Each structure stands twice: as C-alpha cells, then as structure tokens.
C-alpha cells in the first residue's frame, strides 16, 4: 500500500528533486520507446541534440520554434492559475491567425510600421473574443470551460478548412495545398536575424512573459487570479466580481494564444495555412503545466520543447525515428512531472498504515 498525507510546507529542494526525477524517468521511458521502434537510443538522442543545439543556426532555429510555445504556454499559465481549465489555446491561436489575415486583406500597401501592429491587435482581439466567449458561457450558463473550448477548437479548425479548401481565401491554383497566397512584405513581422528567420515575435514573447509575471505577482488582478484558483467563495465575500475576473482571464489567455498564431503565420510561414500551426496550442498546455504554472517556468519549458521540436526534424533525417517521438516524449514528461509534483505536496509512505 502507498500512503499519502499532505505536507505543510515544501522547500525548493523537494521541488528540484521532483523535477530531476521526472526528467530522468521521462528520458528513460522515451529511450524505451526508441528501442521499441528498433532504433539506437544513442544515435536518436545524439541527432536530437545535434539538431537542437549543434550549431549557431540550430540554436537560433530552436528559438524560432520556441516562440509560439511561449505564447500558448503563457495562455495556459494565466488560465490554469485561476483554475480555469481552458484547453482552447489551439482554436484561439487559429482564430488569431485568421483575424490577423482577414484584417491584412484591407491594409493594402500600408507601411509595415502601421500594418504589423494593426494585424497583431486584430489577432489578439480575435483570440480574446473566442476565449471570452467561453468565459461568458461558463459564468452565464455554467458551461464547463473544458468542454466549450474543446468544441470551439473543432469548430474553428473546420471554419479555417472551409476558408482554405476552395473557400474565399484559397490561393489561386493551390486548392490542394489548403493555403492563402503569400503575404505582402509589409505584413511580415520584422526579422532580428535575416538568415534564420528569428523574428520580433521572440522578443514579444519574452515581454509577454515578463508582463504575465508582473500581472500575476504584483497587481490586484493577479491577486484575484490566484485567489480564484485557491478559494472563489472567499473572493466573492470580499466583494470581487468573480464573473468579471473569469471573463478577463479568458480574454487574456485567448489574446496570448492568438500571438502564437501571428508569430507562426506572419513571422515564419508568410501564408495562412493550418498544418504549420497544428498542435502548438496543445503543446502549450504541456509547456504551461511543466513550467509549474509560472511564467518564467513556462519560458524555460517552451525553450526546451522548441529545441526538441527543431531537433526532431534533424533526427528524423539522420535516423529511422519519426519526428512524432517528440510529442510522445512531451506527454510522457508531463505525466511524470504531474506525478512527481505529488512528492512536493505530500509525504509519501510505503507500507501498511499502523493506525487503522
């Protein structure tokens, strides 16, 4: 029997130990996966590392891959901190990219100095609108946010599929690719480094992380967010409008997710298409949770996962291991981190209870 009792306080040592243990078990299990698929573990992890950190270009490309994950990770942190279990990051990211693209259709030859901020603002409003809608459904009709966000993910993805598969936004002569025409230069996010496409979105992501940290730690809204997760009833007695807080949190989370869509479409791909964004929202949930629902932790987790995603392409070229090893690894790591977090919050004893 395993006996678990709550622990009054948990130090950083317990936390560090839990993470190291989870990381070790996660890597061990992933090695078993590689072995089971008939490849060499050393070759697989070697190629993964080489592709992620092997050269200056590799490192920069890992940063590019990490950028959208920082945004969706932060979106997770803001919502989950308030114990609002939104898993709409995927759909909100798509909605953001779609709204940004939609607005760009009316911007013509506007200078990038105006066009880019307008596109970003439109995208954030799109994401915030979708997130806020789920918040409204939750507070007004008690519709569980997990359900509404999942369902809207599907709805938004089908809407994009309609727009791109022969619908109004489909590029001339490319119906089979499901994409829009190439974006004009003035709509693209400015590049920090020309050769590796490290765009301004990376800086925005770091600013967003700092902003989230300040909001959660230092502002009245942040207090409400933390209290909402901890004890909503007490918050209500304090005279806080809980419904309003839920709505704000969901809008904020949606706007952050939307930025992931902007950075992928306007910073990297220069065309609106669904497949390049697929999964970035869901990975953001893992990023946020592994980051301990802390903005700084989410940035670290996003950098790690961005590197894994970037390295996985190189790995799949060098070895027989499919790049989908990385999503599998991420899921495994998540469950181990969740399990290991118990070590921090509870005292675990093996053996029979004496006092029954």
Partner 1 sequence: MSELLSPEILMSIMIASIGVATVILLAALGELVTERSGIWNMGVEGTMLSGCLIAYLVMAGTGSPLVAALVAMVAGLAVGVLIGFMTITLRVDHFVTGLGFNLLASGLTLFWFRSYVDGAKPPSYSTIDKAPIPGLSEIPVIGPILFDQHVLTYIAFLGVPVIAFFLRRTAYGLETRAAGENPQFLEAKGLSVATRQYSAVLFGSALTALGGAFLLLAFADQFRPDISGGRGWLAIVAVIAGNWRPGRTMIAVLIFAILDSVAVHAQGVGVDVPYQFFLMLPYVASILLLVMIRSRSGQPAKLGVPYLRH
Q: Which of residues 62, 72, 139, 148 is near partner 1 by CB under 8 A? A: 148
Binding to partner 1 by residue 37, rule CB under 8 A?
yes
Binding to partner 1 by residue 146, rule CB under 8 A?
yes
Binding to partner 1 by residue 167, rule CB under 8 A?
yes
- Number of residues counted as binding partner 1 (CB under 8 A): 51
Residue whose token pair is 């919502």: 79
Min CB(127)–partner 1 separation in Å: 18
Q: Contact at 8 Å (CB) between 64 and 202?
A: yes
Whole-number Å distance between alpha carbons of 89 and 192? 26
Residue whose token pair is 């596109």: 119
Binding to partner 1 by residue 231, rule CB under 8 A?
no
Min CB(125)–partner 1 separation in Å: 21
Which ranges constitute the DSSP H helices of the chain? 12-36, 41-53, 56-81, 89-104, 112-141, 145-164, 201-218, 220-230, 232-237, 242-264, 280-290, 295-318, 325-345
Q: Which residues contact 140 (CB under 8 A, 6 or more apart)?
A: 243
Nearer to partner 1, 139 or 202 (CB): 139
Binding to partner 1 by residue 8, rule CB under 8 A?
no
Binding residues for partner 1 restricted to 51-110, rule: CB under 8 A: 85, 87
b (16+ CB within 10 A) / e for 222-252 = bebbbbbbeebeebeeeebebeebbbbbbbb
Min CB(88)–partner 1 separation in Å: 12
Stretch that binds partner 1, among 15-23, 98-106, 146-154, 176-184 (CB under 8 A): 146-154
Q: Contact at 8 Å (CB) between 100 and 227?
A: no
Binding to partner 1 by residue 230, rule CB under 8 A?
no
Q: Contact at 8 Å (CB) between 101 and 120?
A: no
Whole-number Å distance between alpha carbons of 64 and 263? 9
Nearer to partner 1, 256 or 341 (CB): 341
Q: Which of residues 13, 38, 185, 351 is near partner 1 by CB under 8 A? A: 38
Point out which residues bind partner 1 (CB under 8 A): 2, 4, 6, 33, 36-38, 85, 87, 137, 141-144, 146-148, 150-152, 154-155, 158-159, 161-162, 165, 167, 282, 285-286, 289, 320-322, 324-332, 334-335, 338-339, 341-342, 346
């Amino acid at each position: 029997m395993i006996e678990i009792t709550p622990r009054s306080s948990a130090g950083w040592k317990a936390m560090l130990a839990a993470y190291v243990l989870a990381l070790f078990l996660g890597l061990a299990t992933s090695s078993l996966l590689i072995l089971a698929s008939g490849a060499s573990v050393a070759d697989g992890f070697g190629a993964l590392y080489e592709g992620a950190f092997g050269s200056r270009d590799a490192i920069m490309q890992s940063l590019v891959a990490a950028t959208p994950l920082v945004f969706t990770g932060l979106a997770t942190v803001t919502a989950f901190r308030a114990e609002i279990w939104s898993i709409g990051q995927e759909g909100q990211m798509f909605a953001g990219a779609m709204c940004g693209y939609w607005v760009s259709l009316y911007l013509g030859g506007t200078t990038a100095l105006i066009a880019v901020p307008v596109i970003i603002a439109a995208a954030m409003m799109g994401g915030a609108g979708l997130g806020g809608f789920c918040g409204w459904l939750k507070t007004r009709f008690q519709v569980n946010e997990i359900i509404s966000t999942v369902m809207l993910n599907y709805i938004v993805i089908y809407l994009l599929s309609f727009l791109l598969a022969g619908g109004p936004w489909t590029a001339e002569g490319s119906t089979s690719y499901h994409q829009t025409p190439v974006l004009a230069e003035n709509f693209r996010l400015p590049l920090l480094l020309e050769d590796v496409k490290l765009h301004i979105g990376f800086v925005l992501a770091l600013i967003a992380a700092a902003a989230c940290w300040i909001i959660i730690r230092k502002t009245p809204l942040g207090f409400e967010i933390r209290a909402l997760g901890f004890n909503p009833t007490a918050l209500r007695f304090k005279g806080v409008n809980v419904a309003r807080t839920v709505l704000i949190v969901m809008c904020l989370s949606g706007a952050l997710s939307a930025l992931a869509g902007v950075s992928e479409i306007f910073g990297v791909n220069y065309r609106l298409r669904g497949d390049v964004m697929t999964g970035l929202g869901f990975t953001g949930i893992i990023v946020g949770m592994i980051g301990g629902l802390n903005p700084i932790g989410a940035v670290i987790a996003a950098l790690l996962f961005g590197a894994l995603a970037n390295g996985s392409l190189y790995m799949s070229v060098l070895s027989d291991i499919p790049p989908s090893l990385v999503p599998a690894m991420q899921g495994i790591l998540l469950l181990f981190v969740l399990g290991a977090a118990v070590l921090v919050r509870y005292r675990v004893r093996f053996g029979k209870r004496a006092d029954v």
